[in-house]
């Protein structure tokens, strides 16, 4: 049984989670996440912890951002778009049980750095790695996000995730080496 409560978008996501693991969920009811749902998520976080596990699309990222602003140190689990692709769209409900288990096993805490703490990854690191201001930047960020387990994001959000998830120089360098071995 997973100790934390998993935050998902809807009932189909809950069914997929329960098919893959023993866990409890809170459903946001979509991207129009209400104050009552946010309070339930806060309470669950205080008592057991939460893992935000939303679809790898724009509405899912919007929900993730709203929750992370309210609860900065909650955990996040990510699926790639390929893992979440189904016949009728993209979503957690389309992922295999194994993909769900792996994503939950890699869930990362999004703690904000302490005042005065310098993040290990700088904006210039993203520039030098071709993750921003590069012809293939979006494709490279997508793969780096998969390798680091932090999901896909635009350049600014990718940098924020590197800071929020405290990506180390070693993790970054290892993922970048893999990216280059793959010819991206």
List pLDDT tens digits, range 110-168. Answer: 766 566 677 889 999 999 999 998 889 999 999 999 999 898 889 999 998 898 888 99
For every residue of the chain, DSSP letters joined together read --SSEEEESSHHHHHHHHHHS---EEE--SSS--HHHHHHHHHHHHHT-EEE---SSHHHHHHHHHHHHH-TT-EE----TTTTEETTEE-GGGS-HHHHHHHHHT-EE-PPPPTTPPPSS-HHHHHHTTSSSSTTHHHHHHHHHHHHTS----HHHHHHHHHHTT--HHHHHHHHHHHHHTT-
Structural domain 5-109, CATH architecture: 3-Layer(aba) Sandwich (3.40)
**Predicted pLDDT of residue 44:** 96
Which part of the chain is CATH 3.40.50.140?
A: 5-109
pTM given for the model: 0.82
| Residue 78 or residue 118, greater confidence | 78
pLDDT at 1 over 90: no
Dihedral (CA of 62, 100, 174, 183) sign: negative
Residue range 37-46, pLDDT digits in tens: 999 999 999 9
pLDDT value at residue 112: 60
């Amino acid at each position: 049984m997973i100790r934390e409560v998993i935050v998902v978008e809807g009932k189909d996501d809950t069914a997929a989670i329960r098919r893959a693991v023993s866990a409890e969920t809170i459903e946001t009811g979509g991207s129009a996440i209400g104050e009552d749902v946010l309070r339930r998520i806060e309470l669950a976080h205080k008592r057991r912890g939460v893992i935000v596990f939303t679809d790898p699309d724009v509405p899912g990222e919007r929900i993730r951002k709203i929750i992370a602003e309210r609860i900065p140190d909650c955990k996040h689990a990510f699926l790639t778009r390929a893992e979440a692709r189904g016949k009728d769209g993209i979503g957690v409900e389309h992922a295999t049980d194994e993909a769900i288990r792996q994503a939950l096993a890699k869930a990362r805490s999004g703690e904000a750095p302490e005042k005065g703490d310098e993040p290990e990854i700088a904006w210039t690191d993203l520039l030098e790695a071709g993750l921003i201001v590069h012809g293939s930047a979006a494709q490279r960020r997508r793969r780096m996000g998969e390798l680091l387990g932090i999901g896909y994001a635009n350049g600014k959000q990718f940098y924020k995730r590197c800071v929020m998830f405290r990506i180390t120089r070693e993790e970054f360098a290892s993922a970048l080496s893999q990216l280059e071995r793959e010819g991206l």
